[in-house]
Amino acid sequence: MNMDDKKIEELRKKAEIMPTEAGVYQFIGEGGKIIYVGKAKNIRKRLMSYFLSGRDENAKQKAMLGKARNIKAVITPNEADALLLENNLIKKYQPKYNVLLKDGKTFPWICIKKERFPRIFLTRQKVEDGSKYFGPYTSITIVNALLELIKQLYPLRSCHLQLAPDSIAKKKHSVCLEYHIGNCRGPCEGLQSERQYFDLLAQVIDIIRGNADEIAQLFKSKMDEAARRLDFEEAQSLKDAITKIEIYQSRSVVVNPAINNVDVFSLLLDNDVAYGNFLRVAKGAIVQSYTLEMKTNIEEEKDVLLGTFIAEIRRNMGELSEEIVVPFLPDIATSRATFVIPQKGDKLKLLELSERNAKAYRVERLKLLETAEPEKHYDKVLRLIQRDLRLDKLPRRIECFDNSNIQGTNPVAACVVFVNAKPAKREYRHFNVKTVVGADDFATMSEIIYRRYSRLIDENLPLPQLIVIDGGKGQLNAAVQSLEKLELVGRIPILGLAKRLEEIYFPGDDIPLHLNKNSETLKLLMHIRDEAHRFGITFHRQKRSAAFISSELSDIKGVGEASARKLMQEFKTVSAIKLLSAEEMTPVVGARIAKLIRQYFDNEKNNNPNTSQSL
């Protein structure tokens, strides 16, 4: 494999661990320069398509892959926002391999013109004249439909007249057709005041921004009033208007011109590592996203870590914006910037988006570590378990037990083994319960633990550094009793993991340990417990199924379960076996048993003459 092939293979492995959400991906060249920006509904799936063997590639794409040295991704709330972010990044960074293709693309905006009686219209050009702009929108159809909705609900003017106070007072204008058909209330003749006009305009802005709950409630009250008057046509019209308002309540978070020159910081803590994400919003659009991994000490507080992250970004990126959105106040102060902790609205959504990108980066790093340095990854997980559970030794070998029975039938148990935090499936064991009658989980657990570890001791096999019991205090105490008989208490740490609240119980302690739901320790313990349950329930189903389908055959005197099972495996159904001759069964179970089975079914048929011959 030559050097170029190695680089492409490294990129492919990086693509394999990218998030599966919507967003934007970037191919990075030498010196960290962005050479290509693309959008995707599923980032990982789209990136992997670049590396499919046999895929038709143009020369430009081959050249781009040859120049790429890294891949980065930014998650967005949806595909439409990915399209907007892609456009912003292309215009900012002018990537070599797609600038000529997409840089000229301009999205539509809704403009509320700065006038005495403002007009509302669609535009593709933003003019810095004090007018308000909303967008950009990814679909011209959506913009036209939204403007049509506004026109239906609110009679605002559409003419280009200069409605100065003196011209209206001097009656220089007269109402047009739009007034007569109800689309305008005639501000040109002074029939509508500025205050009345701006009251309507405020409702329009709420609808455009998506803050239309109060507007919808207003329309609903009018609809109810119309229904009380038995004006069902008006009520239906208002109901349709409410439906249309609700459809347009959502809007883009990635681009919002009301948010200008803002930096967003989020922090994700994960034991001895912290992940900080930085978003920069300039002129109403996200133009930068950067995530940093920081090693932490146990005594460091989160405000100190956030302050360290902000200082590092300032060192690398230069001066920060005057407004900084944060999840909590850092331990640093700045004279020119204001820290904002949002509680609702677009800034909160931007903070949540930053947090999602930090989480995606964390997943990417862990998967990369697991792929590139698996032993280092698993050692890290084991050290976390040792610390969280206060174990004396690193739990390189963990064994977990689960019981399975339904109404006391076919009781079985399962033991799964994890070595270095990975399943060792060849060492999984099933147990048929021998000494317990009925559904007694405690007695079953006691029997299985004793059988398992007495055998390991007798055969001088390695003992685990941790035993996990699927269950609470009752199952744990039963297991401990067996360990006491074997003089293993104190030699092997043991715990019970209860399902309801994922509580961890230790012997002799009535107060359970609660770990954070995102803890790697709890995640691994749950994974081991669930694997034991899966393995046990699968065996239990197989046993019940085998017992059911072979019961009629094994009830024949002289025919055992093993022979019945062989026949069922070969011929599938009892009905098919009833049609066989003794000679046909002989190769499977031998002549003696074949003759017994044939005689049994012949006698059954003779004793019941109504039995169908086609069984």
CATH code: domain of residue 464: 3.30.420.340
- How many CA atoms within 13 Å lie on the side-chain side of 8? 18
Among the ranges given (143-157, 200-214, 229-243, 532-546), the one the predictor scored with the smallest mean pLDDT: 532-546
Task: List the domain range (segments joined by +) for residue 295.
Answer: 262-369
| Claim to verify: residue 363 and residue 272 sit in the same structural domain | yes
The answer to whether 278 and 354 are in contact (CB under 8 A) is yes
pLDDT band at 31; cut points 50, 70, 90: confident
User: What is the rounded CA–CA span in Å between residue 453 and residue 491?
Assistant: 12
Q: Beta strand pairing status for 338-340 and 323-325?
A: parallel
| pLDDT recorded at residue 259 | 75
Compute the C-alpha angle 536/537/540, nearest 5°: 90
Could you tell me if residue 226 is inside a domain? no
Token pair recorded at residue 169 = 């007072």
Among the ranges given (119-133, 289-303, 424-438, 592-606), the one the predictor scored with the smallest mean pLDDT: 289-303
Among the ranges given (177-181, 401-405, 520-524), the one the predictor scored with the smallest mean pLDDT: 401-405
Could you tell me if residue 397 is inside a domain? yes
| Claim to verify: residue 197 and residue 277 sit in the same structural domain | no
User: What residues contact residue 415 under an 8 Å CB cut-off, 6+ apart?
Assistant: 399, 400, 401, 428, 429, 431, 448, 452, 532
Could you tell me if residue 303 is inside a domain? yes
Could you tell me if residue 224 is inside a domain? no
Q: Is the pLDDT of residue 100 over 50?
A: no
pLDDT band at 372; cut points 50, 70, 90: low
Q: Is the pLDDT of residue 454 over 80?
A: yes
Q: Is the pLDDT of residue 344 over 60?
A: yes
| pLDDT recorded at residue 568 | 79
Distances (CA, A) of 503 to 437, 456, 508, 517, 536: 29, 29, 15, 11, 21
**Of 348 and 313, the one with more pLDDT:** 348
The answer to whether 361 and 277 are in contact (CB under 8 A) is yes
- The whole-number average pLDDT for the span 368-382 is 71
Could you tell me if residue 239 is inside a domain? no
Q: Is the pLDDT of residue 518 over 50?
A: yes
**Of 103 and 434, the one with more pLDDT:** 434
Nearest residue to 410 (alpha-carbon basis) of 236, 265, 541: 541
| Claim to verify: residue 418 and residue 513 sit in the same structural domain | yes
Could you tell me if residue 58 is inside a domain? yes
| pLDDT recorded at residue 613 | 38
pLDDT band at 493; cut points 50, 70, 90: very high
| Claim to verify: residue 91 and residue 165 sit in the same structural domain | no
Angle between helices 520-554 and 561-571 (to 10 degrees): 100
- The pLDDT tens digits of the residues spanning 6-16 come to 888 888 888 88
| Claim to verify: residue 177 and residue 300 sit in the same structural domain | no
End residue of a domain, out of 212, 228, 252: 212
Among the ranges given (93-102, 129-138, 213-222, 474-483), the one the predictor scored with the smallest mean pLDDT: 93-102
| pLDDT recorded at residue 407 | 46
pLDDT band at 105; cut points 50, 70, 90: very low
The domain that contains 21 carries what CATH number? Answer: 3.40.1440.10
| pLDDT recorded at residue 373 | 61
The most confident of the ranges 33-42, 49-58, 373-382 is 33-42
| Claim to verify: residue 116 and residue 55 sit in the same structural domain | no
User: What is the rounded CA–CA span in Å between residue 156 and residue 179?
Assistant: 10
| Claim to verify: residue 355 and residue 389 sit in the same structural domain | no
pLDDT band at 408; cut points 50, 70, 90: very low
Q: Is the pLDDT of residue 494 over 90?
A: yes
- The pLDDT tens digits of the residues spanning 174-224 come to 888 888 888 898 889 888 888 888 988 888 887 776 555 667 777 788 889
| Collapsed DSSP state (helix, strand, coil) of residue 287 | strand
pLDDT band at 307; cut points 50, 70, 90: confident
Could you tell me if residue 256 is inside a domain? no
Q: Is the pLDDT of residue 284 over 80?
A: no
Could you tell me if residue 374 is inside a domain? no
Distances (CA, A) of 484 to 324, 414, 490: 60, 21, 9
| Claim to verify: residue 390 and residue 510 sit in the same structural domain | yes
| Claim to verify: residue 35 and residue 87 sit in the same structural domain | yes
User: What is the rounded CA–CA span in Å between residue 473 and residue 496?
Assistant: 7
| pLDDT recorded at residue 200 | 87
End residue of a domain, out of 542, 570, 594: 542
Among the ranges given (40-44, 63-67, 274-278, 387-391), the one the predictor scored with the smallest mean pLDDT: 63-67
Nearest residue to 291 (alpha-carbon basis) of 353, 381, 375: 353
Which uninterrupted H or E stretch holds 428? Answer: none
Among the ranges given (242-251, 492-501, 556-565), the one the predictor scored with the smallest mean pLDDT: 242-251
| Claim to verify: residue 425 and residue 531 sit in the same structural domain | yes
Q: What is the pTM of this model?
A: 0.42
Token pair recorded at residue 533 = 């349950």
The domain that contains 600 carries what CATH number? Answer: 1.10.150.20
| Claim to verify: residue 98 and residue 118 sit in the same structural domain | no
End residue of a domain, out of 369, 401, 430: 369
pLDDT band at 26; cut points 50, 70, 90: very high
- How many CA atoms within 13 Å lie on the side-chain side of 108? 15
Under the phi-then-psi rule, with left for phi > 0, alpha for psi from -120 to 50, and beta for the rest, what region is 32?
A: left
pLDDT band at 253; cut points 50, 70, 90: very low
Output phi, psi for 553, to 5 deg: -75, -45
| Claim to verify: residue 56 and residue 130 sit in the same structural domain | no
Number of domains present in the structure of the chain: 5
Q: Which 3-state string (H, E, C) describes 435-499?
A: CCCCCCHHHHHHHHHHHHHHHHHHCCCCCCCEEEEECCHHHHHHHHHHHHHCCCCCCCCEEEEEC
The answer to whether 103 and 94 are in contact (CB under 8 A) is yes
Report the 10 Å Cβ neighbour count for 425: 11
User: What is the rounded CA–CA span in Å between residue 370 and residue 375?
Assistant: 8
